Amino acid sequence: LERRNMSSQQKERVALIGSGNWGSAIAKLIGENVSHHKATFEEEIKMWVYEEQVEGKNLSEIINTTHCNIKYLPKVQLPQNIKAVTDVKEAAKDATLLLFVVPHQFLQKICRDVKPVIAQNARAISLIKGIEEENGRPLLLSSIIEKELGIDTSVLMGANIANDIAEGHFAEATIGYTRESSARVFQYLLNNSHFRVSTIEDVPGVELCGALKNIVGLAAGFVDGLDLPGNSKAAIVRLGLLEIIKFCKHFFPGVQDATFLESCGIADLMVTSLEGRNRKCAAAFVKTGKSFSELEGELLSGQKLQGTLTADTVYRIIHHSTLHSQFPYFVTIYNIIHKKEAVSSLLHKLSTVSQVESAWQPNSRY
């Protein structure tokens, strides 16, 4: 089947693919925003919900009757123009703007399901923080969407704790784009007085920052679990940023330096290291001795932790190219998770890295 041919004069039809914690927070944001821009956007937004039972009722029915996702974003009211649907094709039918906020392991199948029904002039944006590996290299999730659907795909990343965004606290985010016109329409959809959205022409940089910061969030949690002071945590976060930059530029040389100063870069790294779920679970990992899978069930309502998934993927990429010595930070995090390496080894290994880094300074011509 061919995609539906939509007239350029028609309003933009928005489809939200995903309804977890972050997806529901975004639903509140864009549901309110489109109500203020009725000349540009159709007011109803269909949100795809993976159906499950909550307190003996279908989650989709709960959302549509109470306007609250009581499992993933309790106590927050969603706008009445958000309609929960359990058929992803129904959610995406004739959509011109698709926002993907789903676990990345389901992304390819979802794209194949919705491809026949989206509008011919559709554009997409990924809000998914993660990466895949293909032939020993990073595979951007945005590139999966772009390849499967054959449409321009941007990314949105930033220092965003879902509950804070849903409650209207001020925050920023960054759109990485290839086509500026796509970035502008998504910026118009997402930006408001308490959610400031900037744009930069750098899809790989923005997307990798959003994924790799979760590994640093684990490291920050390990430091908190050891009850170390703030200066130790600051050092761990800074060294993590250096390795993020090195990884990005190794595999995507065109990544811009300015990207790391955007919300998707240093700001996201800061909030992840202070408040994020990866930090929280990593601290509990140290203090309780429980596995990450146990902690996901206890602390995240069974949702998967992106930091451990990303650490696994990044390690496979590093191992494939025998780059272990180039990325000691990421390798050590992986070993702590999977090889029972002592958490304290992270500080020992990185103190050596820091000494080597300092040793470079006298050779500078400045």
Cα 170 from chain centroid? 19
Enter the tokens of residue 311.
Answer: 């650490």
Place of tokens 């929280």: 280
Distances 228 to 99, 168, 236, 336 between C-alpha atoms, Å:
39, 33, 11, 17
Query: Which candidate in 213, 233, 246, 249 is catalytic?
Result: 213
List, edge to edge, every strand of the sheet that includes 123-126. 82-85, 45-48, 14-17, 97-100, 123-126, 153-157, 171-176, 195-200
Kindly report the backbone phi and psi dihedral angles of residue 274, in degrees, each rounded to the nearest multiple of 5, phi listed first. Answer: -100, -40
Q: What is the dihedral of CA 342, 240, 271, 152, to 10 degrees?
A: -120
Enter the tokens of residue 11.
Answer: 């309003």
Place of tokens 């209207």: 168
Q: Are 91 and 85 in contact (CB under 8 A)?
A: yes
Q: Helix, strand, or coil here: 214?
A: helix
Q: Are 185 and 242 in contact (CB under 8 A)?
A: no
Q: Are 70 and 115 in contact (CB under 8 A)?
A: no
Distance CA 187, CA 76 (A): 23
Give the relative orientation of helices 203-225 and 277-288 as an angle to the nearest 10 degrees. 30
Does the annotation mark 349 as catalytic? no
Q: Quick one: residue 225, left, alpha or beta (phi over 0 = left, psi -120 to 50 = alpha)?
A: alpha
Going by C-alpha positions, the residue among 212, 211, 217 that lies closest to residue 285 is 217
Distance CA 76, CA 78 (A): 6
Active site residues: 213
